[in-house]
């Protein structure tokens, strides 16, 4: 029994120590379900190119199209889905290499070579038919393309019923196959350029019949600069990781002032409607294109035009588009 007091003392000491010990840490709460991170950009796609036969090399023929519709209207830039499918099949069958716009950019900046028989597919304006009928075919044949979008027509007070939605544009961009670039915010139209004439909004100063005077050069530059900057900003806001630095001139109209504004605002490349092929010597603000998307253009004619343009340019690699192209209309 002499050990009982000692055991009691030890038990009391144990209780005292345990009461002074810090409380056990609480279990961390289960993490809430995190929202999926927004992707930083589309996937990188590697394309395989044909090495032969060679029709032309060290050039890119840029093909210009507009809309794809089941029932094209005469005298329009519309083609049927079947025609576009045949265009792609014939280009691939005849060993043309359809390249992405990013490769053309590197080529023009002397940072990369292009495969022989290189072509670039471009669509102007942002017609809904490109998404409905064209995009599934681009995915099926694994062919890249570039769309030049009039961003002011997508939504808001200037929205047009025939345009793609932002959701559709974002879906195409996320595929990694489609580059989306600028075609102005709201300068794809005509302005009154004189007492009895109209002209492209991008290049012409606005004539005010009330005061019988033109807008000032400073106001003109501000109007154009704000439009081009807004188009670029809206595209980059909707397309995570996008680099919007390409532009297509509405109606093919441009002049040195427009080019200076583009260069100042961060655009590095601009596409004309002047026929030819891009070479390493081509002015990046006057890139040639050929129109192969009219209602009567057959796939055979498209392929022949691409081949003939490349062959012809090989003899004149330094040829440049004009410094100024400004149409006017009555």
The alpha-helical segments, DSSP class H, found in 34-108 are 81-93, 101-108
3-class secondary-structure state, position 61: strand
Question: What percentage of the chain has pLDDT greater than the value 70?
Answer: 88
Q: How many CB atoms lie within 10 A of CB 45?
A: 11
6: left (phi over 0), alpha (psi -120 to 50) or beta: alpha
Mean pLDDT of 180-197: 96
- On average, the pLDDT of the chain sits at 91
Residue 180 has pLDDT above 90, yes or no: yes
- Residues 6+ away with beta carbon under 8 Å from 134: 68, 81, 84, 123, 145
Model pLDDT for residues 7-60, shown as the tens digit of each residue: 444 344 433 434 444 444 454 554 455 545 555 789 999 999 999 999 999 999
Tokens found for residue 286: 């006057």
Is the whole-model pTM more than 0.85? Answer: yes
The alpha-helical segments, DSSP class H, found in the chain are 3-20, 81-93, 101-108, 128-129, 135-141, 166-174, 217-238, 256-264, 299-314
| Pairing outcome for strands 145-149 and 178-182 | parallel
Residue 328's pLDDT is 80
Residue 66 has pLDDT above 90, yes or no: yes
Please give the Cα distance from 72 to 52 (Å, whole number). 35
Residue 33's pLDDT is 52
Q: 321: pLDDT confidence band, cut at 50, 70 and 90?
A: very high
Please give the Cα distance from 103 to 158 (Å, whole number). 33
Cα-trace Rg, the chain: 30
Q: 6: pLDDT confidence band, cut at 50, 70 and 90?
A: very low
Identify whether the C-beta of residue 323 lies closer than 8 Å to the C-beta of residue 256.
yes
Q: Which domains does the chain have, with CATH numbers?
A: 60-314 (3.20.20.370)
Long-range contacts of 168-174, Cβ-Cβ distance < 8 Å, separation of 24 or more: 168/128, 168/131, 169/126, 169/131, 169/238, 169/239, 170/238, 170/239, 171/131, 171/135, 172/131, 172/135, 172/147, 173/42, 173/239, 173/242, 174/39, 174/42
Please give the Cα distance from 73 to 199 (Å, whole number). 25
Question: Which residue matches tokens 């681009």?
Answer: 138
Model pLDDT for residues 151-175, shown as the tens digit of each residue: 999 988 999 999 999 999 999 999 9
Identify whether the C-beta of residue 248 lies closer than 8 Å to the C-beta of residue 270.
yes
Residue 40's pLDDT is 72
Residue 4 has pLDDT above 50, yes or no: no
Q: How many CB atoms lie within 10 A of CB 172?
A: 23
Residue 37's pLDDT is 55
Question: Which residue matches tokens 């100042």?
Answer: 264
What is the number of residues in the chain?
A: 330
* Per-residue exposure over 94-114, b if at least 16 CB sit within 10 Å of its own CB, e if not: bbbbbbbbebbbebbeeeeeb
From residue 165, how far is each of 30, 64, 127, 145 by CA, in Å?
A: 39, 21, 10, 18
* Per-residue exposure over 126-142, b if at least 16 CB sit within 10 Å of its own CB, e if not: bbbbbbebbbebbeeee
């Amino acid at each position: 029994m002499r050990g009982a007091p000692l055991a009691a003392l030890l038990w009391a000491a144990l209780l005292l120590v345990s009461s002074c010990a810090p409380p056990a840490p609480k279990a961390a709460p289960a993490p809430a379900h995190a929202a999926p991170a927004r992707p930083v950009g589309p996937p990188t796609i590697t394309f395989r190119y044909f090495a032969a036969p060679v029709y032309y090399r060290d050039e890119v023929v840029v093909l210009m199209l507009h809309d794809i519709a089941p029932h094209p209207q005469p005298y329009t830039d519309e083609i049927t889905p079947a025609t576009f499918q045949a265009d792609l099949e014939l280009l691939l069958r005849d060993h043309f290499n359809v390249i992405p716009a990013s490769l053309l950019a590197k080529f023009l900046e002397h940072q990369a070579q292009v495969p022989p028989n290189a072509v670039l597919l471009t669509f102007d304006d942002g017609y809904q038919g490109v998404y409905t009928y064209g995009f599934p075919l681009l995915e099926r044949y694994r062919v890249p393309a570039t769309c030049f979008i009039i961003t002011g027509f997508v939504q808001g007070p200037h929205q047009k019923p025939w345009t793609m939605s932002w959701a559709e544009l974002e879906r195409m961009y996320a595929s990694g196959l489609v580059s989306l670039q600028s075609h102005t915010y709201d300068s794809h139209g005509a302005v009154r350029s004189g007492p009895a004439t109209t002209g492209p909004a991008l290049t012409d100063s606005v004539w005010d019949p009330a005061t019988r005077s033109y807008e000032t050069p400073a106001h003109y530059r501000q109007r154009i600069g704000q439009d081009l900057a807004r188009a670029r900003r809206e595209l980059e806001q909707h397309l995570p990781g996008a680099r919007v630095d390409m532009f297509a001139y509405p109606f093919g109209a441009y002049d040195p002032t427009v080019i200076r504004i583009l260069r100042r605002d961060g655009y590095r490349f601009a596409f004309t409607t002047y026929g030819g092929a891009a070479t390493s010597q081509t002015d990046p603000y006057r890139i040639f294109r050929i129109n192969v998307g009219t209602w009567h253009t057959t796939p055979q004619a498209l392929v022949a035009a691409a081949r003939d343009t490349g062959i012809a340019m090989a003899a004149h690699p330094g040829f440049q588009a004009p410094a100024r192209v400004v149409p006017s209309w009555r």
